C-alpha cells in the first residue's frame, strides 16, 4: 500500500505580481496529523486550496495517490477529501443537520448513514442539541463545529482544516483537538492549519512551517528544535522565520463578471447638500 496520499511537487502560486507560494514540495502520508504553521499571510490558506483542487498551481503539480500508488488529479478525488475552510459557508436558513445532510447527499451518502455519523460526532463536540436549529443564530464556534461535522459526514480519508479552533472557547477547542487526535489514531490523514504553535505541538506529530510563501521546515517538533538548537518549538519557529512577514495573503483575483456585478450592485450616495438623492 502506498504510504503517500498527497504529493506536492515544485508548486508555486502567483496572483499577478504577488508570489503566494514559491517552489513548495512535500509528501503527505496516510495516518499523519500534520500541523501547517505560519503567520498571517504566510501562504497556508493558498496551500490548502491547492491541496483540495480549488486553486491550480502556477507551476508544479499536486497529485493524489490511491492505496495502490496510482496517481490522480486532486479534482478527480474530491469525494475523498473533507474540508473545513476559514469561512464556513453554511446556509443560514437551514438547520445544522440540513447543512450537513445536503453535503452528504452531494457525496452519495444516505440520510440514515449521515445522521448516525453526524450525531456521534456532534455528541463528542457537545452540539447534538443544536442540530435542528437554523444556523443563522449560531456563534462562530458553533458554526465551526457544524462545518467540521459536515466535512466528516461522508467519511473522508483526508481532512483539511483551516484554523479549526478559531472562535471556540477553551472547552470547545479542547474537544476539537481531541477529535483530531482520534481521527489520526483511526488512520486518517489530517492537515491542521494554525498559527498557534502550542496547539500544533499538542495535536500534530509532524510540523510544516510556511513563511512568506516558502517552506522553512518539515519534521517532528523534536526534529525542528534539534535542527535549530532551540529549547522550545516557539523558539525554533522564530529562528526559522526571522525575515519580516508580508502583510496579507493575496486572494484569487475577482473575475471580470464578479467585478462587473460588484460595480452594478454598489451605489455610491452623494452627501446631502450636493444634489444627492437624500436631499430634502
- The greatest distance separating any two alpha carbons of the chain, rounded to the nearest whole angstrom, comes to 76
The residues that bridge with 191 in the sheet, in sequence order, are 34, 160
Task: Give pLDDT, residue 78.
Answer: 82
Task: Give pLDDT, residue 278.
Answer: 43
Q: Note the pLDDT tens digit of each residue in 38-55.
A: 988 899 999 999 999 999
Say if residue 62's pLDDT is above 60. Answer: yes
Q: Which CATH class is domain 4-260?
A: alpha beta
Q: Note the pLDDT tens digit of each residue in 228-270.
A: 999 999 999 999 998 877 665 445 555 554 555 455 444 444 4
Q: In the predicted model, what is the mean pLDDT of residues 192-214?
A: 93
Q: In the predicted model, what is the mean pLDDT of residues 155-174?
A: 90
Q: Note the pLDDT tens digit of each residue in 76-123.
A: 888 889 999 888 889 999 999 999 999 999 999 999 999 999 999 999
Domain ranges of the chain: 4-260
Show the DSSP H helices in 4-43 as ranges.
none
**Residue of 139, 54, 68, 133 whose CA lies nearest to 95:** 133
**Residue of 235, 243, 234, 233 whose CA lies nearest to 211:** 243
**Residue of 92, 181, 194, 109 whose CA lies nearest to 151:** 109
Query: 108, exposed or middle or buried, with CB in 10 Å at 0-12, 13-18, 19+?
Result: exposed
Give the span between the Cα atoms of 21 and 214, in whole angstroms. Answer: 6
Measured N-to-C along each axis, helices 96-106 and 111-124 cross at an angle, to the nearest 10 degrees, of: 130
Task: Give pLDDT, residue 263.
Answer: 52
pTM passes above 0.85:
no
Amino acid at each position: 500500500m502506498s504510504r503517500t496520499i498527497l504529493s506536492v511537487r515544485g508548486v508555486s502560486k502567483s496572483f499577478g505580481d504577488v508570489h503566494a507560494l514559491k517552489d513548495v514540495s512535500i509528501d503527505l502520508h496516510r495516518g499523519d496529523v500534520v500541523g501547517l504553521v505560519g503567520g498571517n499571510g504566510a501562504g497556508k490558506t493558498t496551500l490548502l486550496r491547492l491541496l483540495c483542487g480549488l486553486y491550480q498551481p502556477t507551476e508544479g503539480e499536486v497529485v493524489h495517490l490511491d492505496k495502490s500508488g496510482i496517481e490522480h488529479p486532486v479534482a478527480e478525488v474530491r469525494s475523498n477529501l473533507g474540508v473545513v475552510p476559514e469561512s464556513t459557508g453554511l446556509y443560514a436558513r437551514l438547520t445544522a443537520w440540513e447543512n450537513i445532510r445536503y453535503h452528504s447527499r452531494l457525496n452519495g451518502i444516505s440520510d440514515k448513514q449521515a445522521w448516525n455519523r453526524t450525531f456521534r460526532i456532534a455528541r463528542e463536540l457537545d452540539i447534538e442539541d443544536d442540530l435542528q436549529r437554523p444556523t443563522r443564530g449560531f456563534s462562530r464556534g458553533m458554526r465551526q463545529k457544524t462545518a467540521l461535522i459536515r466535512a466528516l459526514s461522508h467519511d473522508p480519508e483526508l481532512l483539511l482544516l483551516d484554523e479549526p479552533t478559531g472562535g471556540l472557547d477553551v472547552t470547545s477547542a479542547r474537544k476539537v483537538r481531541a477529535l483530531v487526535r482520534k481521527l489520526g489514531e483511526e488512520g486518517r490523514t489530517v492537515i491542521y492549519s494554525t498559527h498557534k504553535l502550542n496547539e500544533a505541538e499538542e495535536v500534530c506529530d509532524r510540523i510544516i512551517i510556511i513563511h512568506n510563501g516558502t517552506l522553512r521546515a518539515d519534521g517532528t517538533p523534536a526534529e525542528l528544535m534539534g535542527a535549530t538548537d532551540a529549547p522550545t518549538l516557539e523558539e525554533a519557529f522564530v529562528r526559522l522565520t526571522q525575515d519580516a512577514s508580508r502583510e496579507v495573503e493575496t486572494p484569487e483575483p475577482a473575475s471580470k463578471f464578479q467585478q462587473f456585478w460588484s460595480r452594478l450592485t454598489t451605489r455610491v450616495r452623494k452627501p446631502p447638500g450636493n444634489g444627492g438623492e437624500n436631499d430634502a
